[in-house]
Amino acid sequence: MNQLRDNLKKLGLSPNHIFQLVKDSIGEDLAGGEDITSVATISSSQVSTADFTTRAAGVVSGLHVVAAVLEYCGVTHYEVLVDEGAKVAAGKILITAQGNTQKILLAERTALNFLSHLSGISTLTSKWVAEVEGTKCQIRDTRKTTPGLRTLEKFATRMGGATNHRLSLSEAALIKDNHIVAAGSITAAFTATKRCFLENRLR
């Protein structure tokens, strides 16, 4: 767990936030009960090996979120085989895990949901980045993220080669059409923002 915490920090992710998100996600899947199918069909002592393998080429991200899901579910023997942001071919094994079969299956869907969602963002982002390669343009993301997943989705865009824009409303001022209308003019909006928050950048 300590190694995973260190790895998450190195990636610019808050371990506490990730672990809470994982806890909530598994809790949502169990809904206060248990995996009745696995309990009914699989011995509680059965042990298995599971490989997380790509079905298509792309840019992967969320591998350490998968690790957090595995650890939360009690699967502590695993190995992450590629780097976050790596370009991989179809059929590439990303993570291999060994442990109790019921615990692996409890982790499976939540882990795959995170992995496929974030890797999809990274893969699409990388295509936009490739389109402006050789120019002075940068691909930047927005705050139009899935509620509760902003940190991870912005991490995924970084892994795809983009640059993060504002992570929050408090990071910088961004004067938009609604602010201009409410203030009366773009000059009034700019002047008021500069007067109130001299230390913040205007965008």
119 and 26, same structural domain?
Answer: yes
Are 125 and 179 within one domain? Answer: no
* Statement to judge: residues 188 and 121 lie in one domain: no
Active-site residue, from 144, 154, 176, 194: 144
Q: How many residues does the chain have?
A: 203
User: Are 35 and 108 in the same domain?
Assistant: yes
Three-state secondary-structure class, residue 52: strand
pLDDT digits (tens, 9 = 90+) for 72-128: 999 999 999 999 999 999 999 999 999 999 999 999 999 999 999 999 999 999 999
102 and 181, same domain (yes or no): no
Total number of domains in the chain: 2
Mapping DSSP to helix (H, G, I), strand (E, B) and coil, where does residue 175 land?
coil
At 198, the pLDDT band (50, 70, 90 cuts) reads low
Confidence label for 129 from pLDDT (cuts 50, 70 and 90):
very high
Distances (CA, A) of 75 to 51, 116, 129, 136: 13, 20, 36, 45
User: 116 and 57 in one domain?
Assistant: yes
144 is catalytic: yes
Report the SS3 class of residue 77. strand
| Residues 28 and 104 occupy one common structural domain | yes
**49 and 105, same domain (yes or no):** yes
Task: Identify the pLDDT of residue 202.
Answer: 58
Check whether residue 38 and residue 97 sit in a common domain. yes
* Per-residue pLDDT tens over the stretch 40-74: 999 999 999 999 999 999 999 999 999 999 999 99
The answer to whether position 96 is within a domain reads: yes
Domain limits for position 184: 172-203
- In this structure, are residues 165 and 150 in contact, taking their beta carbons and an 8 Å threshold? no
Q: Which has the closest alpha carbon to 97: 70, 63, 118?
A: 70
Rounded Cα distance between 152 and 119, Å, is 11
CA dihedral 47, 72, 167, 28 (to 10 degrees): 90
Strands 87-88 and 58-59: antiparallel
- Predicted pLDDT at 26: 98
- Half-sphere exposure in the Cβ direction for 32 (13 Å, CA): 0
Q: Is the pLDDT of residue 1 over 60?
A: yes
Q: Tokens 């442990």 label which residue?
A: 99
Please give the Cα distance from 187 to 102 (Å, whole number): 62
Asked if residue 148 is part of any domain, the answer here is no
Are 107 and 176 members of one domain?
A: no
| Same domain as 187, residue 125 | no
